[in-house]
Each structure stands twice: as C-alpha cells, then as structure tokens.
Structure 1
Amino acid sequence: MHFKTVAIVGRYQDTGLDAPLRKLAGTLGAAGCNVLIEADTAKNTGIREHTVASYQEIGKQADLAVIMGGDGTMLGAARQLADSNVPLIGINHGRLGFITDIPLHSANDALASVIQGNYEAEDRVLLEGRVVREGQTLFSGVALNDVVLNRAGRGGMIEVTVEFDGAFMYSQRADGLIIATPTGSTAYSLSANGPIVHSRLNAILLVPVAPQTLSNRPIVLPDSGTLSLTVTALGRVESGASVHFDMQTWSDCQAGDRIEVRRAKNTVRFIHPTGYSFFSTLRRKLYWNHMPQPSDEVE
C-alpha cells in the first residue's frame, strides 16, 4: 500500500458530481485506503459517509489528494496544500484539463493501479510574490500557473518597468504582463502567444499581453532570479490595475507599486499513472496530428 490515507477534493459546483465522487471513494475503500472528504466538497455534495477533513487536516493526515474537477480546482487545492507536501493526482471533470489529466471514464481503474504503486511522480515549480507600495507589503500569494499584472476594467494600457535580479530589462506599455511557470505555459500564457515549456525545466516565462510595441516578445528566464514589475503609469487617471496569483486577486494596484515574483521554496508533487507522457497530453489536448470532430469527447 503506497497511499494509506487518501483525500478527495471535488469541484462541488458541478451538478451530479456526488455520484462519481462516491464511486471513487468506493474504489479507494475497496483498495484498503482510509478516505477523507474535503470539508467544502462534503458540505456541497452531501457525501458524509466518510471522514470529513479541512485542508489543514488533509495536509497533516493524507498521503495523497485526489482532485476531481478542472484545472482551476487543482490550482486551488495546490495552493491550499503547498506547505504540506501532499502529492496530488487530477481527474478531469472540466473542459481542457492539462493538469487534471486522467479522463473521468478511466479514473477508477487508473486510481486503483496508482494505489498499488503503478505511478510516476514529478515536482512542479510554484511562484511566490508580493505587491509592495512605499516599502510596505500590501498583498502576497503563491501560484502554480502564473502571476498576472493586468489593466483594470476599460482603462487604457499600463506602463511597466521590468527588472530581473535588479538588472533593467525594459519598459513597455501593454494591457498586462504574465509571469508563468512551465505548468502555466499551457494556460493564459499560451493564449497570449507564449511558448509551451516542458514541465521539467527550471524556468520562468515573461509574456506581454497585447504590447504596444510588437517587438516586445515572450522571454524565458532562469527560475533562480527575481522579477520586479514597477507600474510607472496607468492609462487614465481613474484607471487601476490588478494582480492575480492564480485564483487570488489584488485589485487596487496603483502607479508606483512594485510586484516582486520569484520561485517559491516549496514545490507541488503530481502523481500520474504509469505511462504518462507530457507530449501525449499536448497531442490530446491541443489536437496535434488530429482535427477535432463534433463527436469528440470534451475532457
């Protein structure tokens, strides 16, 4: 038994999620696992026949956390469990699902095999950052995908000065800037024409969002340094900017504020069934070598 105590976290907003969650819990119980149900998941699905646990309790007790939902559910769980070193495995009950990579229809068989030790593990980089104003930290957070500085509402472009380890890189006007991990390279960064970066690389991506100067291109940087973005001007007097750490938002960013981002000391460990391939995931999710048909299943 490689994972004696297993926690289940679900995207409880989905109608009918209780049935696949119960089936999953049954599979784990039949394999001899102690099953924990995350508290909000239990409350909103009515699944109370197993031990209900907070994220803090899961971090102390679980050997594995199974996340059923979309990538957003995984991001939230990863942030909650970042300090506990509990490995995560994702079952896709969403749309695209780059990091919840096990299809729902094969989830129970895949998980039963993983419990018996048939799995591969990989550690993913996390970012940590803070918003600083006049030497005071106003907001801080961690992110598995990205830290994003965006103009707020319908305001004009924002002007940003970018430094890496104190060295000046450039100043530019744009709708925003994305600082992404390799995991986040297939998220917002990808839609902004950023490169796909293999999950095993130790790197940070800096990707402009709709830059005024088209020569401002995405750049891949070593993850050993600190990126500093200073908002030098906002598009309009009444405009603002916001900073997003995955699912956490600071919406009162003003001219003069500085956003500092570096690699976090913790990592997130992902568990995959034996035979997992990063490239297979890309082929399947991005329809490489395949034209999607109306009958294709949306995972």
Structure 2
Amino acid sequence: MWDAILDSLIDTVKLIPFLLITYIIMEFIEHKTSHKTKDAIKKSGHFGPLIGGILGVVPQCGFSAAASSLYSARIITLGTLIAVFLSTSDEMLPILISEAVDVRIILSILGIKLVIAVIVGFIIDLFFRKKFETSEDEPEIKDLCEHEHCHCEHGIFKSALKHTINITLYIFIISLVLNIIIYFIGENNLAHILNSTPIIGPIIASLVGLIPNCASSVIITQLYLSKVLNFATMIAGLLVNTGVGLLILFRTNKDLKENIKITVLLFAIGVIFGIIFDLIGFNI
C-alpha cells in the first residue's frame, strides 16, 4: 500500500517542472502578447503535429501533460494534441534502455510511434479540425484561468503557480486511487487479461493504455520484453497511453463531450493500428 502512495507521489512530483513552465508560458501569452502574436501562434499549428510528435517521443509524460493544457486554451490544434498523445512513451523508453534492449529495436518502436503520430495528427487537422473547434465559442486562456480561479491579476508567476498547484493535487489524488486499484487487482492478473485472446489483445491493451498512470506503460512494456505480448498488442497499448495527459485534459478542458470524443478517437486509433499489425504478422 505504501508503495502505491510513494509511486503516486513520485509520478506527480516529476510533472511539476513541466506544468509550471507550461502555465508560465500560457500566462505570458495571455497577458504580455498582442492579438497578432496569439493569432500567429495558432496559425503555426499547421506544423503542430510534426512538432508535437517529435516532442512526445521524449521520455516521461511531461509533454502530454503540457499539450493537454495548451489544447484546453486552444493554443495548439487537436491534431497536435493527438500527435503528442500517440508518440508519448511515458515509462517505455527508460525501461527499454534499462533492459539493454538493442538500440535498433528501440529506434524502430519510437520511429513507428512517431510516424503514426505525425500522419494521424495531420489527417485529424485536415478533416476533423472544425468538428472539434468553433470560431465563436472557442475557449481561451482566460477561460481556463476562470475555471481554475487562479487570480491572474496577482501576476504571471503567482497565477501559473496556482494553476500548477491545482493540477498537481488533482493528479496526485487520481494517481493514488488508480495505484491502489492496480495494487488490489494485481499486475499478474492484468497481464493475464492482456494476453488472453489474439486480435482481442490490441483492444484490451488499448483499454489498459487508457489508464492515466505510468503503471500501464510499465506493465505493457515489461510483458512485451518478456515475450508475453506480441508487437501488435504492445504498440496498441502504448499508442493510446498518454501518461497523465488525458487526466489533465479532463481537468482543464470543460467540454466533457469533447474530452470523451478525444478519448474514443485515441482508443480507436490504437485498436486499428494494433489489429493491422496483428493481421500482417508484423513483429520486432
């Protein structure tokens, strides 16, 4: 039980620098830049999926956490958000490195996640951008500030710090609950569920990947290294896994229906690519 509490605390503390820097940037954009500058940032989103996909490859889930907040303020596009989510490796990369996995295998896995993330991100921005965004009711950073009661008039840093504290407490509480649940279910039982049925494996793995906790990426990666899971099942779960990205999205983006749509979209992408790799027998 104490391990669950400690893991939750460590996972949360690791995110604080990413969150604080993100909110400082957001407060600066809101209070110190002109409307032209804000418009320029939004227009640069045409290349967002590429940039987001590359940043998402960085270990841990800091960038997925940052992307969720930036999307909630409509600074980045939906395609960019999904690209970051799909390429996020969370605990996968540190585990692969610590297990001395062949660098070619590591680069192949990261490369596949990156390519899928970028392509899907651009497709989403091309075809579905208007479905998730409107020009009239588009939330801005000030709406996020009102939602978090950060009292922006007290200064950029103090406001950003208030945002960070609010989100950090939220993440810690949810992570603690999830870790306790996983503790009682047992990782071995979760592993058995993941490896129960071919084809269905990617679906189950994607569901596990949706768990906003590093435990899901750890379990999926370790089972793959132990040859319990094939590549298709592993990639399905890790594509969907966003660390605490989805957790923060549901906290900062007040449109619940949109959050659910994004979650379903992410899940569908993981399942589709997992089944495709399974059917063609692709493995690494």
Indicate the structure with greater helix content.
2
Q: Output the TM-score relative to the length of structure 2.
A: 0.30
Higher Cα radius of gyration? 1
Q: Output the TM-score relative to the length of structure 1.
A: 0.29
Indicate the structure with greater strand content.
1
| Larger RCO: 1 or 2 (CA < 8 Å, sep 6+) | 2
